[in-house]
Each structure stands twice: as C-alpha cells, then as structure tokens.
Amino acid sequence: MKKLLLPFFGSVFFLAGLSSSAQFRLKLKQAPVDYPNLYSQTITGADLKEKLSIIASREMEGRETATAGQRKAAAYIENQFQKLGLLPGTTGGFQMQYPIYQDTLLEASLKIAGKNQKLDTSFSLNIASAANGSYEIKEIIFASYGIVDSVRNDYEGLDVKGKWVLVFEGTPGSQSPVTDRRSPYSSRAKVEQASKLGAKGVFIMSSDFPKRAQDTKGAMYLKKPATANVPAITVSSNLAHLLLGLNPAQLLQSIKNVPSGAYSAEAEFTINKRTLLLQSSNVVALLPGTDKADEYVLITSHYDHLGTRGKEIFFGADDDGSGTTSVLEIAEAFAKAKNEGHGPRRSIVFMTVSGEEKGLLGSEFYSEHPVFPLNKVSVNLNIDMVGRIDPKYKGDSLNYVYIIGDDKLSTDLAPITDSLNKAYTRIQLDRRFNDLKDPNRYYYRSDHYNFAKNGVPVIFYFNGTHADYHRSSDTVDKINFDLMTKRVKLVFHTAWEMANRKEMVKRNIPLQKL
C-alpha cells in the first residue's frame, strides 16, 4: 500500500505545484500592459539626431518655401512616411501641392517736391503692397508709431481715411525694426492697422539707410492681402522730414520733436511689377484608426525655414527641424504599435507644412481645403521649436516646455496634459504665454492658429526663442536631445490618449475674437 500511496501523494503534490505555477504564469500574462509607455521607448535622442541631421543639413539649403531645398526636404519626409507604411494623406499622394504668388518689381520711383529719390538709398518698399500705377500725395497724416493696443492709440483724433500716413518704425522704447512680421509692432502690422482705418498708403520712417540693394522679389502670399492696394514705403529720416515739409537738419531724436497731425505734401509714387506663380507643398500621411477611424488627431510641424542669403545657409535645426523630426518619430511609434496590433481607435494625420515662415501659408491653405473635415479633428498638436533652451527661462531649464493654447477652446486639454505629464514625463509645463494679450503673441505665430480659428482645439509645444532664432547659427550641434526626447514623448502620450479616449475632445469654450 505504501508503494501505492506514495506515488499517489507525490502526484497530488506535483499537480498542486503545477497548478500554482500555472496560475502564477496566468496572472503574469493577465497583467495589463502599458502600451503608450512601451511604444514611447521607440522615441530616442539618437533617432531624433539622425533625422534632424538630414533635415537641417547643408544639402537642404535652408528649406525656403518654393525652392529646391524645400522640395528636397519634402521628398525626404515623404520617403520616411512611406517606409513606415503610412497611407498618402491626399488623393494625389503624400504631397498636397498649393499655389503661391510672388510679385517681381520692374520699376519704382518716388519724387518729392519735384526731386527724384533713389531706391535703397532713401526709400524701399513692400513690393506686394501696391497695385501698379502712379499715386499723387498732397497730404500726409503723421501718426507717431502707428500703434493701437491696450496701452496707447496713436490714431486718436486723426482722420486718415483716403490719406497717406507716416509712422515710425519699431516701438517707443526702441526704433529698431521688429523683425518678426507677425508681431503687432512689425511694419506689416502697422500697415494693416492704417489700412483698417482707411489709409491710402503708408510711409514708415527707418534709421536703417542706406540699405543693400533690394531684392526685386516681394513677399510670398496665397491670395492678395487686404492691404494689397495700400502701398507701404520705408523711408529714411531725411526723407521723412522732406515729406512733412520739415528741415532734415532737425533730427528726429525724440518723438516729441514733431506733433501728430496733418501735413501738406508734394510727392508722387510710381510702381510697375509683375506677379509670378510658384508652388509649394504640405506633406500629409494617414495612419487609419479602428472603430473611430472617421475621427482624427492632427499632429503638425513646419518643415520650411529661411533658405540662404548669398553663401549663408539658415539651417533651421530648432526652427522647425526639431518639430519636423518629432512628427517623424511620433509617426514611427504609432506605426509600430499598429503593426503589432495596438493601433489607435481614431485615425492620426501626420502633416508637415511649408510656408510657415512666409505667414503660415501651408497650414492656411490646408485649413481652407481640408482633406479630413475639421469638425472631425479632435485636436491639433503642433510642434514648433522643441530642441533648445530659452536663456530667459526661470525654473528648471533642463526640464520644461511651454504649453500654449490648451485653455482656449476645450476644458479637456489642460487636465489631460497635466495627468499624462504626471504619469509619464514629469516635465515642467509652463503656460505663461497662454494670455492672448501677451506681447509676444505666440498663440498667433505658428500653424496651430489656422486650426484654432476654425474651432479645432489645439496645443502648441514650444521651447522659446534664443540667440540663434532666425539666424544661420541655428544648427544641430546646439540641440539638447535629452530634453527634446522628453518633450516629444509628452506629445506622443497626449496623442495616444486623444486617439483612444471614448469621446472626442469637447469644444466647450467659445472662440474668442482674435
């Protein structure tokens, strides 16, 4: 019996042990997998550097819109999307072609009191601003700096309708030109303000004369701007005096030297130009969703930059090679997830646009000709400059990102961002630029704005400006890839949540007048 009992009890103990071991393994198998964290690990500093070193290379020639360099960059991005197995984002392929117009100056003359002035020596002009023809000027309204904001109104008490206006360049604190054309204090903004008030033309006094020979090509545009028939002419200090009938020897060292108001003038301006038709493209790829495939998460960046100036190349590593590289890395992470059976519920659209540096042209064109309905886009996550450190940042400069726009159209966005950041990246989320009255106006200055103004909730990821912003020294060797990787992972986690949550992001905050 012992010989019978011992094997029996041994079998019982063996089976019991086997059952316990199998249960343990079953529990391990049933443990939930954190897929977003798993696939975020594919986003690495080494991969980001490899791609950015191509996008911001000498071969891309600064990626200026409607140039060979921009087309090379578009081809590279398209090739990357194809390798990932993504679908073309348009019926015509990965590249959404769009037309761009540019005026070429044939002739321009300015005569004051019967005396011809020399182009680039005493005046220059915005070629796109004026229609062909001659303009006779009998009266000029001097309007100080031509600023209208919450603090001052330089047009108060002045009637400029149907008249020419003269304003100072820059701001009261500095007469240096504001180089960002999207700033409210830029010459472009001042011309727009004068145009709204009915001005017939605008003179802008600048200390930056004589100028180097002006490029005969004007600014690029999608369609004629509202100010197309409002000539914008930049003039020297001496010429500004002559226009107002004053003695040039009386230098305008202070704004108090000359009172605002109407001045008699004797001037004539003539312009002759022709318009060129150019072409550029946005690169668009689609990763189809599963049960919510007719809803979308849109992830964007701009891949264009400033091109070349002579032999000088503006590489644009941070602006916005960093954002473009980020889009490619995020696309790779989602493609891997889908290939392994963990694709997103909503479709994801990856889009790198051109024309941003020319005035958000590529995103504007897409927003007016959307491939995927904007009312079906849950959110736009826009990445523009995430590879550097703002030298003025107050806080942990090696662990932050500026978050802009997440409080504007949906109450969902900020809490989601905060919770995901707490769970995964633990980076400082700085929202100081969310105020629409912020003088930097960053909310208006990147491609997300063209979606926000159409009601799409947005988040703009940004590292701030630095000494190399819009300079040829914005190169790959200055990118902080460790910090960039954390920022990109935050965008990825946000996109994952947006693509897989039960409902689209609520649109429950009225669109403010922008």
All CATH 3.50.30.30 domain ranges in the chain, comma separated: 107-276
Rounded Cα distance between 380 and 389, Å, is 24
Rounded Cα distance between 287 and 296, Å, is 10
CATH 3.40.630.10 fits 35-101+277-500, yes or no: yes
Contact 267, 135 (CB under 8 A): no
107-276: which CATH number, 3.80.10.10, 3.30.420.40, 3.50.30.30, 3.40.50.1240?
3.50.30.30
**Which pair of structure tokens corresponds to residue 457?**
């909730």
Rounded Cα distance between 123 and 229, Å, is 19
Contact 362, 304 (CB under 8 A): yes
User: Whole-model pTM above 0.75?
Assistant: yes
User: What confidence tens digit (pLDDT) does each residue in 409-418 have?
Assistant: 999 999 999 9
Sign of CA dihedral 239, 241, 246, 248: negative
Residue type, 262: A
Rounded Cα distance between 357 and 320, Å, is 10
Q: At what angle do helices 45-55 and 68-83 cross, to 10 degrees?
A: 150
**pLDDT level of residue 3 (50, 70, 90 thresholds):** very low
Rounded Cα distance between 306 and 318, Å, is 12
- Torsions phi, psi of 29, nearest 5? -65, -30
Could you tell me whether strands 133-142 and 292-302 are parallel, antiparallel, or unpaired per DSSP bridges?
unpaired
User: What confidence tens digit (pLDDT) does each residue in 102-114 have?
Assistant: 999 999 999 999 9
Contact 468, 478 (CB under 8 A): yes
> Nearest 5°: CA angle at 406, between 437 and 410?
110
Question: What average pLDDT does range 226-255 have in this prediction?
Answer: 78
Contact 260, 158 (CB under 8 A): yes
Rounded Cα distance between 332 and 325, Å, is 11
Closest CA to 360 of 181, 123, 493: 181
User: What confidence tens digit (pLDDT) does each residue in 326-379 have?
Assistant: 999 999 999 999 999 999 999 999 999 999 999 999 999 999 999 999 999 999
Rounded Cα distance between 217 and 122, Å, is 19
Helix (H) or strand (E) segment spanning residue 348: strand 346-353
All CATH 3.40.630.10 domain ranges in the chain, comma separated: 35-101+277-500
**pLDDT level of residue 82 (50, 70, 90 thresholds):** very high
Residue type, 344: P
- Spell out where 222-336 has E strands: 232-235, 261-287, 292-302, 308-309, 312-313
Rounded Cα distance between 404 and 451, Å, is 14
**Alpha helices (H) in 175-249, listed in sequence order:** 187-196, 237-243
Closest CA to 164 of 266, 315, 283: 266
pLDDT of 388 over the 90 cut: yes
**pLDDT level of residue 218 (50, 70, 90 thresholds):** confident
Give the DSSP letter of residue 478.
G
Rounded Cα distance between 404 and 384, Å, is 11
**pLDDT level of residue 1 (50, 70, 90 thresholds):** very low
- The answer for residues whose C-beta is within 8 angstroms of residue 15's C-beta and 6 or more apart is none
- Torsions phi, psi of 507, nearest 5? -110, 80
pLDDT of 17 over the 70 cut: no
Residue carrying structure tokens 């006779």: 136
